[in-house]
């Protein structure tokens, strides 16, 4: 084999090695991103499944949730606040309390949470 052919083979091997390294780094970054996204989704799902019984809310707000069979924070967030206004003892202060509760957890009334199996 001539020296030029050997140099070309070495140069090609170096290029392939560099390319493999770049691909490996991109794949690793994609895997890390997927893991972070899954962790965030799991944390979010845990938050959404927090029981209303475990939250610090007033008795009127609690009774409103019970009368609508709302058991979790996610169920509350998926409710339309206009539906809640039809419930007995649901006044401005109760609405404000529940809105503040949702806002505290970066949630709001009327959220579409179907991808988290919240009904």
The model's pTM is 0.69
Q: For 53-80, how does the pLDDT look when each residue is reduced to its tens digit (9 = 90+)?
A: 999 999 999 999 999 999 999 999 999 8
Range of the domain at 74: 52-116
Dist CA 67 CA 43 (whole Å): 28
Dist CA 44 CA 46 (whole Å): 5
Q: For 17-58, how does the pLDDT look when each residue is reduced to its tens digit (9 = 90+)?
A: 888 888 888 988 899 888 887 877 888 889 999 999 999 999
CATH number of the domain within which 69 lies: 1.10.150.20
Q: Judge contact between 30 and 22, C-beta under 8 A.
A: no
* 40 shares its domain with 5: yes
* 56 shares its domain with 109: yes
* 105 shares its domain with 58: yes
- Give me the number of domains the chain comprises: 2
> Residue 99 above 90 pLDDT?
yes
CA 35 to chain centre: 13
Confidence at residue 34, expressed as pLDDT on a 0 to 100 scale: 82
């Amino acid at each position: 084999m001539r020296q030029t052919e050997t140099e070309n083979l070495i140069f090609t091997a170096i290029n392939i090695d560099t390319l493999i390294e770049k691909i490996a780094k991109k794949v690793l970054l994609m895997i890390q991103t997927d893991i972070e996204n899954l962790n965030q989704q799991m944390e979010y799902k845990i938050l959404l499944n927090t029981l209303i019984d475990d939250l610090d809310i007033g008795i009127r707000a609690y009774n409103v949730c019970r009368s609508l069979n709302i058991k979790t924070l996610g169920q509350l967030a998926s409710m339309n606040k206009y539906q809640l206004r039809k419930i007995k003892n649901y006044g401005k202060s109760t609405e404000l309390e529940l809105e503040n509760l949702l806002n505290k957890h970066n949630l709001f009334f009327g959220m579409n949470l179907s991808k988290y199996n919240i009904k």
